[in-house]
């Protein structure tokens, strides 16, 4: 299966420049195998700072209003996402407040 990719917006209004490093450290400490990258804009400007999570063959997610305080819930999400065959969950309650920060779920390419 392809590598899990996380993309964090770095140009959002009030973006926390330290969040990228904090996210990288959290992923490494948790042993999560993922590519973490930054983008200049992901059009989530109404709910900055945005984070996209995607993996080939799975539903992709876009979250907004991400802060360092969300990192524990993001790690929970990533564990659930990696364990899911298609990136979908029957119960999002284990994601804590992160479940309220979802902006979009993008279905996987069926081709």
User: Could you tell me the CA-to-CA distances from 106 to 4, 21, 33 in Å, in that order?
Assistant: 15, 26, 22
- pLDDT for position 12: 84
Cβ neighbour number for residue 11 with a 10 Å cutoff: 13
Domains of the chain in start order, with CATH, are: 4-106 (3.40.30.10)
Check residue 34 and give its pLDDT.
95
pLDDT digit string (tens) for the chain, length 111 residues: 588 999 999 988 888 999 999 999 999 999 999 999 999 999 988 898 999 999 999 999 999 999 999 999 999 999 999 999 999 999 999 999 999 999 999 999 876
The pLDDT of residue 1 is: 59
Q: CA 103 to CA 64: how far, in whole Å?
A: 6
Q: How far is CA 108 from CA 4, 9, 69, in A?
A: 13, 22, 28
pLDDT for residue 55 = 96
For residues 52 and 86, the answer to whether their CB atoms sit within 8 Å is no
């Amino acid at each position: 299966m392809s590598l899990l990719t996380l993309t964090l917006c770095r140009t959002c209004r009030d973006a926390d420049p330290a969040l990228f490093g904090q996210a990288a450290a959290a992923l490494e400490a948790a042993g999560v195998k993922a590519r973490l990258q930054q983008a200049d804009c992901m059009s989530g400007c109404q709910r900055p700072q945005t984070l996209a999570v995607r993996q080939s063959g799975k539903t992709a997610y876009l979250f907004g209003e991400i802060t360092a305080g969300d990192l524990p819930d993001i790690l929970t999400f990533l564990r659930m996402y990696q364990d899911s065959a298609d990136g979908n969950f029957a119960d999002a309650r284990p994601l804590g407040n992160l479940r309220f920060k979802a902006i979009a779920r993008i279905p996987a390419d069926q081709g």
